[in-house]
Structures are given as C-alpha cells and as structure tokens.
Amino acid sequence: MQDDVQPQEESQEVTIKDETSEEQAQPQQQVSDDGNNQRQKEQRRSSSKRFEDFGVWQSAHELVVTTHRLTSIFDPNTGDMRDRLVDAAHEVSKTLVQGYNRKDPKKKLEFYEASRDATFVYQDILLTARDLSMFADKQEDFDKLLDLTLESRKRVTGLIKKYREIAR
C-alpha cells in the first residue's frame, strides 16, 4: 500500500522572542491542521500567550519579589521609601505585561519603553534609599537589587531594539 503524501508548501512566520530567551527569532514551519499537528500548534500558541513565560517579565518579576523581601527590614519610621521602591518595581513588570498584551508593534514599543523608563525611576529611588542609610549593614541587599535593576533594563532594552525595527 502506497501513501499518497504530497509535500506541503512551507510558509515562513517570524516569531519575536526577547533577546535572552532560549528561543531566538527564527522562521518556523507551519504545521497542517490534522490530528497531532493541530494539537502541537495549539499548545505552542497557548504557551506563547502566557506573559508568565516571557523571559523579560520573569526578570522584572524577580525584581518585584526581591524588593518586597529585602525591603521588609526597613524601619517603619522612615516614611514611604519602601512603598516607593515596591511601586517602582511593580511599574517595571506591569508595563511589560501591558505591552505584551498589545497586538500593534508600535503600542508594544510604547509600553516596553515605559518599562525601561521605570527601571531608571526604580534605580533613582534605590540610590536615595542607600544614601539615607536604609541599607546600613545590608550592602549585599542593595547590590542584589541594583543588579536585578540593571539586568531588567538590559533585557527590556534588547526587546525595544527588536520592536523598533518592526515598528518602522
């Protein structure tokens, strides 16, 4: 018995991933709409629609969680500096999620640029907290938060570069 299989034409789709994810932007072969191939296509589509899988967001989320954890030691009498740091960290991740959910590359770019700007605001507040001795005897905590800030900014900047090319 001979199979009547004819080769399908390949169409090229470009998938944009953040620069530090394991999957780089590369052509993908479209699969046919039958059986297992359709399930694989749906799984790939559904997994890519979760912002939680977005590598840039994961870095920003780590900044938020670490900020909560490491600033819990702040003296409550020092004002709202802890709240400012936490809010600024949330702004980095929140604007990434907002951009991720946009379809238009120009709109995505606007949110990603806002996220990058939020890393600068966060860094400014972090430096102020350090200068007010809020990290006294906790230099390693300050260094960790600064490193996470710079890593988030680096990853968002890479994403911005890709979307600037697309949005032209």
For domain 51-167, the CATH architecture is Up-down Bundle (1.20)
Largest CA distance in the chain: 83
Instruction: Assess contact for 109 and 163: CB atoms under 8 A.
Output: yes
Decide if pLDDT at 166 tops 70.
yes
Render the burial of 108-117: b for 16+ CB within 10 Å, e for the rest: bbbbbbbbbe
Query: Residues 6 or more apart from 155 whose CB is under 8 A from it?
Result: 18, 19, 20, 55, 56, 59
pLDDT band of residue 109 (cuts 50, 70, 90) is very high
- Rounded to the nearest 5 degrees, what angle is found at the Cα of 117, between the Cα atoms of 65 and 61? 15
pLDDT over threshold 50, residue 161:
yes
List, in sequence order, every residue forming a beta bridge with 12; answer none if it has no partner.
Answer: 29
Whether the full predicted model's pTM is greater than 0.75, yes or no, is no
The tens digit of pLDDT for each residue in 61-93 reads 999 999 999 988 787 777 688 999 999 999 999
Q: Where are the domains of the chain?
A: 12-48, 51-167
CA distance 65 to 57: 12
3-state secondary structure of 12: strand
CA–CA distances in Å: residue 106 to residues 11, 21, 55, 103, 160: 25, 22, 20, 9, 10
Residue whose pair of structure tokens reads 């490491």 in the numeric block: 70
124 Cβ neighbours under 8 A, 6+ residues apart? none
Q: What letters, b where the CB count within 10 A reaches 16 and e where it falls short, cover 4-13?
A: eeeeeeeeee
